[in-house]
């Protein structure tokens, strides 16, 4: 009798999948890495493009001794904030007003949350570190609809696929999102997030890439890799992309043969806990953690051939997962915590902002760039006024601004505006003209830049700071008091 019921359920699930092929919940950023294929690509974005300006700052409303925000998701004007506190908390924010609509505390959880909430038209799904499992909430009110006790969901995120969802807890589960009932499960305890296409579920963890039939849960294919826990895990119409410790693989979905490999000799490919591979229609981006010089890198390949296109090296060792939108790849390095945007075709830097300490993966929605920063969410949009925002009289030209505070005894902020991308030098000199410190010596994107200068190692007195960018240069005074 049990066997007949099980077979009947599988047939019903198969019919649901076939009938609902053309009815998918709007892919309006409702889940981990923005789509069930986990591409980290805003494929429909055609308006947002640098230069960008800050539109608004949305504060976290939760309080407590420990507050740290991590991943964001957006769907139909509702922004979900994963807030690390004791207990972990989900904040639902109305993006049109900036108001917090409701909060939900994950029972028994604590510390950093590191769970990417998922949303659809009527529900929102949340879990947390050390929590009991997965919660389904009413999207408008935050009222709990059901809980699935599958253990802590620290860095184990849910992927929505029509009426079903896939999530690794104490096992890999396929569940009904209506009531949380198990459609099928497989004993597989990995700290990872699955990827789903029309036929299969893909998951990486414990030195293995595994593929399952998404309707029945039956194993389809597996391969040993060098990564112990998480890693890149992305799929498109033709290929499945993943990584080992030093190699990017593209597998043909028809045969599971290797289409191409890219070996990053001598470097370790970063296996960040959400996803470090991002793809567009023609490009693949991935991250290197601490190259031979100890620097993180953003690397871009031709997706069809695996050929190297360009790379950007950062002063920081670690990078959060990249996001691709309208031909620009955005990424946040750590511990630098600025946000960069690069032309995905040639690597030219198009955007840079360090006015906040940004963290985690940015998202793009409603023609806006949205990124977490400590206890705030910062929203950028197209800058239609450009330099007029900073000084109308500058006529969109270069500008070096007076440091603030001044005088100062520890740290001051120096701002300068670039009307176009230029190589910039910013240096500190003493009264004798001797160079005391180099603050910037690299190419910077157009826009407003803010640089903190720590003068605690210098004696009190009068100093000068000079910026040079292309044919422009300017010098101003600053005063350190002890």
Query: What integer pLDDT is reported at residue 220 of this predicted model?
Result: 95
The structure tokens listed for 459 are: 């004696």
- Whole-angstrom CA distances from 11 to 8, 161, 465 are 5, 17, 72
Extended beta strands in 247-358, E state: 247-252, 258-263, 278-279, 283-288, 297-302, 308-313, 318-319, 323-325, 328-331, 333-334, 339-343, 349-353
For residue 20, pLDDT beyond 60: no
Q: Do domains 24-382 and 387-480 have the same CATH topology?
A: no
Residue 208's Cβ-count burial label (10 Å; 0-12, 13-18, 19+) is middle
Q: For the chain, what percent of residues have pLDDT higher than 90?
A: 57
Question: Average pLDDT in the 194-217 region?
Answer: 92
> Which range is least confidently modeled, 317-326, 382-391, 452-461?
382-391
CATH of domain 24-382: 2.130.10.10
User: Which tens digit of pLDDT belongs to each residue from 360-385?
Assistant: 999 998 899 999 998 899 999 998 75
Every domain of the chain and the residues it spans? 24-382, 387-480
- Longest CA–CA span in the chain (Å) reads 92
User: Which tens digit of pLDDT belongs to each residue from 83-141?
Assistant: 999 999 999 999 888 899 999 999 999 888 889 999 988 999 999 998 999 999 999 99
Question: Average pLDDT in the 285-311 region?
Answer: 92
Query: What integer pLDDT is reported at residue 32 of this predicted model?
Result: 56
Give φ, ψ of 452 to 5 degrees: -85, 135
Q: How confident is the model at residue 329 (pLDDT cuts 50, 70, 90)?
A: very high
Query: What integer pLDDT is reported at residue 31 of this predicted model?
Result: 52
Q: For the chain, what percent of residues have pLDDT higher than 70?
A: 89
> Which range is least confidently modeled, 179-183, 324-328, 351-355?
351-355
Closest alpha carbon to 351 in 305, 382, 389: 382
Question: Average pLDDT in the 287-308 region?
Answer: 92
User: Which tens digit of pLDDT belongs to each residue from 242-269?
Assistant: 988 889 999 999 899 999 999 988 888 8
CB 168 within 8 A of CB 184: no
Question: Average pLDDT in the 214-222 region?
Answer: 95
- Domain 387-480 belongs in CATH node 2.60.40.1930: yes
pTM over 0.75: yes
- Whole-angstrom CA distances from 230 to 39, 185, 240, 296, 339 are 16, 20, 16, 18, 24
For residue 19, pLDDT beyond 80: no
User: Which tens digit of pLDDT belongs to each residue from 232-243?
Assistant: 789 999 999 998
d(CA 156, CA 137): 18
For residue 429, pLDDT beyond 90: yes
The structure tokens listed for 238 are: 């033709």
């Amino acid at each position: 009798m049990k066997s007949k019921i099980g077979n009947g359920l599988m047939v019903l699930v198969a019919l649901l999948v076939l009938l609902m092929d053309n009815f998918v919940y709007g892919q309006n950023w409702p889940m981990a890495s923005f789509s069930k294929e986990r591409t980290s690509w805003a494929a429909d974005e055609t308006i947002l493009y640098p230069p960008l300006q800050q539109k608004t700052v949305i504060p976290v409303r939760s309080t407590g001794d420990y507050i740290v925000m991590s991943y964001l998701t957006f769907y139909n004007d509702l922004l979900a904030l994963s807030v690390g506190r004791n207990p972990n908390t989900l904040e639902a924010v109305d993006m049109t007003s900036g108001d917090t609509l409701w909060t939900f505390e994950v029972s028994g959880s604590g510390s950093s949350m590191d769970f990417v909430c998922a949303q659809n038209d009527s529900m929102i799904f949340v879990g947390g570190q050390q929590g009991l499992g997965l919660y389904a909430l009413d999207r408008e009110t935050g009222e709990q609809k059901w809980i699935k006790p599958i253990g802590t969901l620290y860095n184990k995120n849910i992927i929505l696929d029509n009426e079903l969802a896939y999530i690794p807890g104490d096992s890999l589960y396929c569940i009904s999102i209506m009531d949380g009932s198990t459609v099928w499960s497989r004993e597989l305890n990995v700290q990872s997030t699955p990827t789903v296409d029309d036929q299969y579920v893909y998951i990486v963890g414990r030195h293995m890439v595994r593929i399952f039939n998404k309707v029945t849960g039956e194993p389809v294919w597996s391969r040993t890799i060098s990564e112990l826990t998480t890693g890149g895990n992305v799929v498109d119409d033709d290929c499945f992309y993943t990584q080992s410790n030093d190699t990017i693989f593209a597998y043909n979905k028809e045969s599971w043969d290797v289409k191409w490999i890219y070996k990053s000799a001598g470097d370790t490919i970063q296996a960040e806990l959400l996803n470090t591979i991002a793809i567009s229609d023609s490009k693949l981006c991935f991250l290197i953690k601490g190259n031979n010089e100890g620097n993180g890198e953003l690397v871009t390949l031709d997706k069809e051939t695996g050929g190297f296109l360009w790379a950007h090296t950062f002063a920081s060792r670690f990078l959060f997962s990249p996001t691709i939108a309208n031909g620009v790849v955005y990424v946040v390095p750590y511990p630098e915590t600025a946000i960069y945007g690069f032309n995905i075709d040639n690597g030219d830097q198009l955007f840079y902002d360090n006015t906040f300490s940004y963290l985690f993966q940015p998202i793009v929605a409603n023609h806006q760039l949205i990124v977490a920063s400590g206890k705030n969410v910062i929203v950028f949009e197209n800058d239609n006024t450009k330099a007029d925002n900073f000084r109308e009289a500058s006529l969109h030209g270069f500008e070096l601004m007076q440091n603030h505070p001044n005088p100062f005894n520890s740290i001051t902020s120096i701002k300068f505006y670039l009307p176009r991308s230029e190589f910039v030098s910013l240096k500190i000199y003493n009264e004798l003209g001797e160079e005391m410190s180099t603050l910037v010596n690299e190419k910077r994107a157009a826009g407003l830049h803010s640089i903190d200068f720590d003068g605690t190692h210098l004696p009190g007195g009068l100093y000068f700071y000079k910026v040079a960018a292309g044919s422009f240069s300017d010098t101003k005074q600053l005063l350190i008091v002890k």
